[in-house]
Amino acid sequence: MNRKIVQYIAFTSMVIALIIGGYFYWLHQQRYPGTDDAYIQAHVVNVAPQVSGRIEQVYVQNQQAVKQNQLLFTVDPTPFQIALDKAKANLHNTIQQIQAAQNAVNAAQAALSQRQAELIDSQKNYERIIFLVKKGFYAKSGGDDATRELTVAKASVAAAQDQLLEAKAKLGKPGDQNARIQAAKAAIAQASLNLQYTTIVAPASGQLAQFTLQPGQTVTAYDTLFSLVENQAWWAMANMKETNLQRVHVGQKAIVAVDMYPAHLFHGIVKSISPSSGSSFSLLPAENATGNWVKVTQRFPVKIEIQDVSTVYPLRIGASCTVTIDTK
């Protein structure tokens, strides 16, 4: 056979094979879009004490795996116990003061009742004497004395009423509705809560990171001391090209190949697709003004929730991985 014909057939066959191979590769890419621009993520809790003080005991160490509510460290509880004792003593004193104020109210009420009874007697005596004076059976000076006595009785009642109002104002509302008792009980609750805060436990199950605490160290309330990487949920954040997102939808299955475990594949599900590109929220987002614009394919973060997390293949935040999504 002519050599040129053989070369032509070979070249044609190779071109056809490349075209067919490229077509099937394109089909594969359309159905299984993927990216190696992906990283493992998990929830990270920044742990901070809610009270300030000196660390008394440390029960864990850096990078240790912990369970939720496991004891991590304690702050010296002595000043907080003293504060609680003072708050309880203050409540006791407040109750005694309220009881004394109640006794004062009772005494003022009794005094008012006495003055009111005296007023009634004075009023009756006044009316009787005035009647006798008008009839001429009693001296006019006696009527003047009865008038002064009635005026004094009325003033005594008014003074007793003022004293009762003052006593009630000092007492306030009765029982547990009293504002001072409520404030004293609130102080006890806060002091008790602060005492509980001296025991710091793990807010979730996971692994400690950047833990450097030592006994004797002083900590400040609400200052982050270390981090806790939760191990209950892991996902891959895949930065997918916008040209590959057309067929990607929430709920589709995905394969996650983590670089640190080349012989193991993780299975996942598409949980969400970002509504904006990764560069949209950067500190200095790109502005493609007229005259210097260069089209760059944008990438959008796609969250792939890993379904088969295993202790045999522990995942770590920031680990590189490759994500392939089945869009069928």
Give the best-scoring range by mean pLDDT among 25-34, 120-129, 147-156, 220-229. Answer: 220-229
Question: Within 10 A of 269 (CB to CB), how many other CB atoms are there?
Answer: 16
The domain over range 49-74+198-223 is classified in CATH as 3.30.1360.170 = no
Secondary structure class of 238 (helix, strand, coil): strand
CATH topology of domain 32-44+230-283+291-325: Elongation Factor Tu (Ef-tu); domain 3 (2.40.30)
Residue 162: what pLDDT? 86
Token pair 């949209």: residue? 280
Q: Which two tokens stand for residue 304?
A: 């792939």
| Residue percentage of the chain with pLDDT more than 90 | 50
The tens digit of pLDDT for each residue in 243-285 reads: 888 889 999 999 999 999 999 999 999 999 998 886 666 655 6
Q: For position 16, what pLDDT does the model report? A: 74
Question: DSSP assignment of 53-109, as one string?
Answer: EEEEEE---TT-EE-TT-EEEEE--HHHHHHHHHHHHHHHHHHHHHHHHHHHHHHHH
For the chain, first and last CA: distance in Å? 48
**Residue 46 carries which side chain, given as an amino acid letter?**
N
Domain-by-domain residue ranges, the chain? 32-44+230-283+291-325, 49-74+198-223, 79-194
Q: What angle do CA 189, 98, 103 make, to 5 degrees?
A: 160
pLDDT at 201 over 90: yes
pLDDT at residue 293 greater than cutoff 70: no
Confidence of residue 154 (pLDDT cuts 50, 70, 90): confident
Q: Among 47, 62, 58, 45, which residue's Cα sits nearest to residue 211? A: 62
Which range among 20-24, 70-74, 81-85, 184-188 shows the weakest confidence by mean pLDDT?
20-24
Q: How confident is the model at residue 179 (pLDDT cuts 50, 70, 90)?
A: confident
